[in-house]
């Protein structure tokens, strides 16, 4: 190992345009909820995870508050709208303004509630026999007359979409139209595990063989891709990307629903849920391990141009050599060095800038050649 120790004795003014690497390449385990997780969403400006032993809330995906569980074991699904959270499971629903104080209600005639979502100024519930229930306040439920063979509901672009053995869509929760597996509307029934609406329209994950489907209207669907995954779980759209949680430790991402990139989590865990808070994605396993992506800001966020003072180093060596940049606040001894970056020389020398705000202000550096 070869290294050179340097002391940055001067500061330079650097105008930095913060164009970062793709944050979806950077997944880090950040939390362990210690619970079996049944749902994860970004609701009312927070990540919300619903578990068997509690409800978990986080602004950033790293620090999670542990709230009491929803009463009576209502742990199947959760949504938010009109100032109220609604949880569902079994034959019961529960409402809360704050995830702490819950009011439990039985829904007459319901069997095994599977999903709840909010859209078009109303909540919709779906039970196992396929009956759809509606309530504007999450409390006064009525059967809509709709009957669909599905296991989950989502809402976007003015439509409710039911995914399951026969995908179907509705503008109001009452009249449902079955989806078709070709662009002319004459194909067979479409089975979808999950779906999301984004820049390419509706994108859905098939229930087997890693199939991916696209539709402009949630009615006529075209198969556009096949992913190397047999158990794709949840799909969401945020920050200009479709993002799917898959098996074998993979997160799949696509800008258009057709071209997909698979990225492994650090320890090959299997994510079941994925959500985005405007700056970062989180992926959560069903046993409560939380991974957070690097920065993936919502599309349209302005670039941040700053003029500031940073220590700068010039590293000279053989072209193609890699050097880890390490730093410490005390130069005496050999301990206390920490890696803060690296460079690969594309020429005889390169200039490297430490953009981290220094606390304390003095820092020593060394470049360690990696062979």
Q: Residue 146 maps to which CATH number?
A: 2.130.10.10
Where a domain ends, among 293, 315, 339?
293
Distance CA 24, CA 295 (A): 8
* pLDDT value of residue 355: 65
Distance CA 132, CA 262 (A): 35
- 325 neighbors 369 (Cβ within 8 angstroms): no
The answer to whether residues 155 and 283 belong to one domain is yes
Within-domain flag for 184: yes
* pLDDT value of residue 19: 46
The answer to whether residues 138 and 29 belong to one domain is yes
Order the strands of the 84-89 sheet from edge to edge: 77-81, 84-89, 92-96, 103-106
Within-domain flag for 186: yes
Domain count, the chain: 2
The answer to whether residues 279 and 328 belong to one domain is no
The answer to whether residues 190 and 319 belong to one domain is no
Within-domain flag for 316: yes
Where a domain ends, among 253, 268, 293?
293
Residue whose entry in the numeric block shows the structure tokens 């542990």: 66
Is residue 23 helix, strand or coil? helix
Within-domain flag for 144: yes
The answer to whether residues 141 and 279 belong to one domain is yes
The answer to whether residues 239 and 153 belong to one domain is yes
* pLDDT value of residue 115: 95
pTM for the whole thing?
A: 0.74
Quickly count: other Cβ atoms within 10 Å of residue 371's Cβ. Answer: 7
Residue 84: its H or E element: strand 84-89
37 alpha-carbon distance from chain centroid: 15
Within-domain flag for 299: no
The answer to whether residues 146 and 159 belong to one domain is yes
The answer to whether residues 223 and 318 belong to one domain is no
Which residue segment(s) compose the domain that 33 sits in? Answer: 23-293
Tens-level pLDDT at each residue, the chain (371 residues)? 555 544 443 444 444 444 446 889 889 999 999 999 999 999 999 999 999 999 999 999 999 999 999 999 999 999 999 999 999 999 999 999 999 999 999 998 888 999 999 999 999 999 988 889 999 999 999 998 777 777 889 999 999 999 988 889 999 999 999 888 875 555 667 888 899 999 999 999 988 778 899 999 999 999 999 887 767 888 999 999 999 987 778 899 999 999 999 888 887 788 999 999 999 999 999 999 999 999 997 755 444 445 556 677 788 888 778 788 888 877 666 667 887 777 777 677 777 777 665 555 567 888 888 87
The answer to whether residues 199 and 339 belong to one domain is no
Distance CA 113, CA 136 (A): 18
Within-domain flag for 300: no
Within-domain flag for 99: yes
Q: What does R_g of the chain's alpha carbons equal in angstroms?
A: 25
The answer to whether residues 119 and 233 belong to one domain is yes
Contacts of 192 (CB under 8 A, 6+ apart): 163, 164, 167, 179, 204, 205, 206, 207, 213
**Nearest 10 degrees: Cα torsion 269, 271, 275, 276:** 30
Within-domain flag for 298: no
């Amino acid at each position: 190992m070869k290294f050179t120790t340097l002391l940055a004795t001067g500061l330079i003014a650097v105008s930095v345009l913060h164009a970062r690497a793709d944050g979806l390449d950077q997944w880090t385990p950040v939390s362990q909820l210690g619970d079996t997780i049944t749902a994860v969403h970004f609701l009312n400006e927070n990540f919300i995870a619903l578990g068997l032993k509690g409800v978990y809330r986080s602004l950033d995906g790293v620090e999670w508050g542990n709230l009491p569980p929803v009463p009576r074991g209502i742990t199947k699904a959760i949504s938010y709208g009109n100032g109220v959270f609604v949880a569902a499971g079994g034959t019961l629903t529960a409402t809360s303004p704050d995830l702490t104080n819950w009011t439990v209600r039985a829904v007459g005639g319901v069997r095994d509630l599977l999903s709840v979502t909010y859209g078009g100024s109303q909540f919709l519930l779906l039970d196992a026999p396929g009956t759809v229930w509606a309530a504007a306040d999450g409390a006064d439920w009525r059967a809509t007359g709709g009957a669909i063979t599905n296991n989950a509901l989502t809402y976007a672009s003015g439509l409710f979409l039911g995914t399951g053995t026969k995908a179907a869509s509705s503008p109001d929760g009452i009249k449902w139209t079955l989806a078709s597996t070709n662009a002319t509307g004459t194909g067979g029934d479409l089975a979808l595990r999950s779906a999301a609406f984004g820049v390419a329209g509706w994108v859905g994950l098939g229930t087997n063989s890693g199939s991916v489907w696209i539709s402009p209207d949630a009615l006529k669907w075209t198969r556009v891709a096949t992913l190397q995954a047999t158990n794709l779980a949840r799909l969401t759209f945020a920050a200009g990307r479709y993002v799917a949680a898959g098996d074998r430790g993979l997160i799949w991402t696509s800008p258009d629903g057709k071209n997909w990139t698979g990225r492994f989590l650090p320890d090959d865990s299997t994510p079941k849920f994925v959500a985005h808070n405007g700056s970062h994605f989180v992926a959560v396993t069903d046993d409560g391990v939380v991974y957070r992506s690097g920065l993936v800001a919502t599309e349209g966020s302005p670039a941040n141009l700053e003029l500031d003072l940073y220590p700068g180093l010039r590293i000279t060596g053989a072209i193609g050599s890699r050097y880890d940049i390490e730093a410490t606040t005390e130069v005496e001894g050999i301990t206390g060095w920490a890696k803060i970056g690296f460079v690969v020389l594309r020429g005889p020398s390169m200039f490297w800038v430490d953009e981290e705000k220094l606390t304390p202000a003095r820092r020593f550096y060394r470049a360690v050649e990696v062979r």
